Amino acid sequence: MNGRGDVVRAEIVRNALTAAAVEMSKTLVRTAHNPLLYDVQDFGLGIVSAEGLLWAEAPGITTFLGSLPDTIKGGLAIHGEEGFSDGDVVIVNDPYLTGTHISDVCVYMPVFHGDELVAFAAACAHWADVGGKTPGGFAADSTDVFQEGLRLGHQKLIHAGRPNRELWEVIEANVRFPSLVIGDLEAQIAACRQGVERVRALCRKYGVAAVREAMDLT
């Protein structure tokens, strides 16, 4: 990229991605079932490149935002770029994979333009319960992670648009407030879908190469 026009386009793309992340945040707040999300806003949402670089973020918990790139890189290490399909939804909350505690559940979706993986839309949010020995996921006297709750490690909740019903049922069966938790999970997915659509719109308008070059320039 070179010239003033390229710099202007880079600013347009950068701000459009930030606006997309903010829109994701608003979607989560409006659809969440849990006051930790719609009142406290205990979450972090962002758009991460296909290489695991943070492109955009919405105001949120700094720890969540800082952990999103490494969380996505962990998913890429497990699945590889070729292991993601359009319509996938992946979930992870294992503290050793996310860098936060087990109640902070990250949901992310790949963004494809044609057959090309461009980015990921990710939403990390504090669930009301993750099972374990105490309600709410706060077990200060735990001696190992297995006492803290259900651990998820980059499993696909939805694969190429088809829900993995068995995994949804495992989550419902292992939390104390299934309707609340599933409601928040669906809100996270809705937020990620919002991000996916906004990134796709940018790619349609400017092309994938221009979007990537704009973010490299910024």
The candidate with the shortest Cα–Cα distance to 197, out of 116, 109, 82, 125, is 109
Output the pLDDT for position 2: 52
Number of H helices, E strands in the chain: 7, 7
Q: Average pLDDT in the 151-156 region?
A: 97
Q: Average pLDDT in the 105-113 region?
A: 97
Which amino acid is present at 203? C
CB distance 66 to 37 below 8 Å = no
6: tokens are 């390229």
Which amino acid is present at 78? I
Tokens 């294992």 belong to which residue?
94
CB atoms within 10 A of CB 94: 16
With a pLDDT cut of 70, the percent of the chain lying above it is 97
Tokens 């719109």 belong to which residue?
201
Band of residue 62 on the pLDDT scale cut at 50, 70, 90:
confident
Which amino acid is present at 87? G
Output the pLDDT for position 1: 44
The candidate with the shortest Cα–Cα distance to 153, out of 98, 200, 115, 196, is 98
User: Measured at the alpha carbon of residue 16, what is the angle toward residues 21 and 202, in degrees to the nearest 5?
Assistant: 105
Is pTM, for the whole model, over 0.85? yes
Strand order in the sheet with 43-49: 54-57, 43-49, 116-126, 104-113, 89-92, 153-159, 162-163
pLDDT of residue 164 exceeding 70, the answer is: yes
Residue 214, CA distances (Å) to 13, 78, 97, 177 in order: 7, 28, 30, 44
pLDDT of residue 115 exceeding 80, the answer is: yes
pLDDT of residue 204 exceeding 80, the answer is: yes
83: tokens are 């292991």
Output the pLDDT for position 135: 85
